[in-house]
Structures are given as structure tokens and as C-alpha cells.
Amino acid sequence: MSNVSETIQKMGVVPVVVLNDAKDAAPLAKALCEGGLPCAEVTFRTDAAEESIRVMTTEYPEMFVGAGTVLTIEQVDRAVAAGAKFIVSPGFDPEIVDYCLSKEIPVYPGCITPSEVAQAVKRGLKVVKFFPAEQFGGVATIKALAAPYVGVKFMPTGGVSAKNLESYLSCDKIVACGGSWMVKGDLVKEGKFDEIKALVEEAVSLVAEIRNK
């Protein structure tokens, strides 16, 4: 696995972040760092994504930040220029994947069918996103997909939370889970960064507990 995939695996959980205002990026990064999970997938679902990545990575250099919901090559360029260390897409877009590979940018496309995993394998990818995880059968589907594609591991997101994290992280085909449950939109909007920090701390202890079993 690449260094970036190894870092993601070490984290165990990647907070999926939707920021409407880049002014929230610094206090959020602080909460994530203090909570013990200096990591985020900042989604390009809002116009604030690029600036938020820039703020997080410059003001908190220990933050390991990737860009999520990347749907165009232009977004890849903007994300990387802002400091993103990896690119995540909800689906498998060959144009985006090939562009990232040509620039040696770590990329995690969403793959939920054998045909999509096959395209990833053909390009040498070792870790792919599995989204939306719960709706597409969760761990059972991942295990079935991983059986023929022995070298591939998955990063499920979509419907993962503290409640079902153990079932996912107990599977050796899963490197880490992404999720928004620690960084809910209303908590960010209301400036409840202490609550976010507490949810992050809970997730960090949960990962340690699951992995030490």
C-alpha cells in the first residue's frame, strides 16, 4: 500500500466534512487535532472546500487532508494546489482516476460492483472507496467483492457511525471507514466544536478498542 493509504489505515476513521463557510475550517481542524484524529476528507460539495483545505493545511500542518466528492479534473488541481494529499470520488470516473495516476496523486474512486473494481485493479489501485456502504450491503458485500480481487482493500463510507464501526473495522479487507457522524453539519453551523472534539475522541477510542481485541 502507498504511504497515504497506510496513513489512512492508521487513522482507522476519516471524518467526511462538508463546510459551507471556510471560517469554520480552522476551529474544526483544531477540534480534530485535539480529539486525536488530525485528518479530514473535505468534500467539494460546497464552494468553501478549496479554501477550507488551504486553511486546514496551512494553519494546522499536522492535519492530513484529502478532498472528497471530486467530480472533475479541475477540482483535482484546485484541491492539490490547496494542500490536499489525496482525492476521493463517489464513483469510478476513469478520466479522474487516470489523471491522478498520471500526476502521482493518490486517488480513491468509489467502486461498488465487480466491473468497477476490475477497472481499479487494471490501473494498479490497491485501495478503493465503497460508497454508499450501508445501502449497498455493507461488510457482507465488501467481503464478497474482495474474494475474487484478493489484492484490493476498501474504504467504506455512507451510513457508517460509532454504532456499526466495529463490524466494518473487524474486516481485514477494510483499511478505514469514512463518515460524517463526528462532524455533523449542525454542530459546525452552531460552532459546537467541543462536541465535535468529544465525538472524535469517542471514535479514536473505539478504533483502538476494536483493533486491540
Using CB under 6 A, list all residues that contact ligand 3PG.
Answer: 16, 43, 68-69, 131, 157-160, 178-181
30 is catalytic: no
Grid coordinates of 137: 450491503
Q: Which residue is nearest to ligand 3PG (CB)?
A: 157
Active-site residue among 30, 50, 85, 129?
Answer: 129
Active-site residue among 41, 50, 153, 197?
Answer: 41
Give the nearest distance from C-beta 64 to ligand 3PG in angstroms: 16
CB-nearer residue toward ligand 3PG: 29 or 177: 177
195 is catalytic: no
Q: Which element (helix H / strand E) includes 127?
A: strand 127-130
C-beta pairs of 143-150 under 8 Å, 24+ apart in sequence: 143/171, 143/173, 145/111, 145/112, 145/114, 145/117, 146/173, 148/114, 149/114, 149/117, 149/118, 149/121
Give the nearest distance from C-beta 6 to ligand 3PG in angstroms: 20
Give the nearest distance from C-beta 151 to ligand 3PG in angstroms: 23
Q: What residues are annotated to the active site?
A: 41, 129
